[in-house]
Amino acid sequence: MGSYRLLDLFCGAGGLSLGFERVGFKVVKAIDIDQHAVNTYNCNRGENVAEVLDVSKIDSKFIEQLGEIDGIIGGPPCQGFSTAGQRIIDDDRNKLYREYFRILEQIKPKFFLIENVTGILNFSKGLVKDDIIKRANNLGYSISHETVDTSEYGIPQVRKRVLFVGIKKELYHGDFIFPKGGKAPISIEDAIGDLPSLDKGEDNTTYIHPPRTAYQKYIRDGMIELHNHILSKHSEDTKRTISLVPEGGSIKDISEELRGGRNYNALLRKMDRKRPSLCIDTGHRTYFHYEEKRIPSTREVARLQSFPDSFIFTGPRNDQQKQVGNAVPPILAQIMAEAIKKYFSK
């Protein structure tokens, strides 16, 4: 496969790219419409690999400038397919996977990978899933898909996603085998318990506590200075409510009287330190630290997504949280990259 040259569509902050790069692939161009995410992507590479661009504007001239591309990776925006959303068939976000295949048809790489929420499988009675398979087959690809839970792959988070892998038929030599999970769960405390306390005012720019687990040692990635670990401000009323919610519980576990008469549109939950995290989304405003009266910092949720501490998020803090929530966990990306590399090595 030569130099393993890739195009990353809907790249976000770059979790998918990071995992593939750690295995030896080279992302020659990455595309996203979010300026803050593109800034973070490029900040972590020291060069402007990512570009702010609407995928519908990618034309033959743009593609010619890329040179040879071995693979396309990416996750079309998933909010329209999410079971948490309205799942409207005409949602513009639900049409972006078609742009993915338009570009795939022009480039004709050796393989492609699509990551998305599991809701895409039964969305509109399976219409989108069937269309993805049909389009891949018509373009000359053998395609397989698998639903995975990231907590089974050494990631401290329960996050179910579906992965599609397409192999060009002339290079096909048997079904692509998705890597098996089954790893022991990593708890939230095992992932972030070594970070400085923000409620106690500990120095949040350095590692004042030694790593206590193998994951903490791995995720520090040799860093000395700590980034993105900043305290969020909450009202005293909010902090009081947080303190009343039991660890691993929700706002429903306390009486309406103790809630202070406030109605919460979202279900406020508190982390359970002994379990993997719930799915990290783009908000984090209703998922609170297991011990401190606050939402988790960007660094904490980044760790739960398996981003190394050497990966620095830029932009407004709310947007940093969005970047983390939208990302593909780098460890999962790396595991998939290794499996794809192994497939072609045969």
User: Hey, what domains does the chain have and what are their CATH numbers?
Assistant: 5-183+328-345 (3.40.50.150)
pLDDT at 316 over 90: yes
User: 11, 43, 78, 279: which one is catalytic?
Assistant: 78
pLDDT of amino acid 84: 47
Average pLDDT, the chain: 92
pLDDT at 118 over 70: yes
pLDDT at 234 over 80: yes
pLDDT of amino acid 283: 72
pLDDT of amino acid 328: 97
pLDDT of amino acid 83: 52
pLDDT at 282 over 90: no
Over the stretch 3-21, which tens digit does the pLDDT of each residue have? 799 999 999 999 999 999 9
Mean pLDDT of the region 43-66: 96
Residues in the chain: 346
Mean pLDDT of the region 196-210: 97
The set of residues, in sequence order, having a beta carbon less than 8 Å from that of 79 and lying 6+ positions away, is 85, 93
**Amino acid symbol at 271:** M
Residue 78 catalytic?
Answer: yes
Mean pLDDT of the region 214-218: 98
Which among 315, 325, 340 has a CA at the least distance from the CA of 44?
315
pLDDT at 78 over 80: no
> What percentage of the chain exceeds 70 in pLDDT?
92
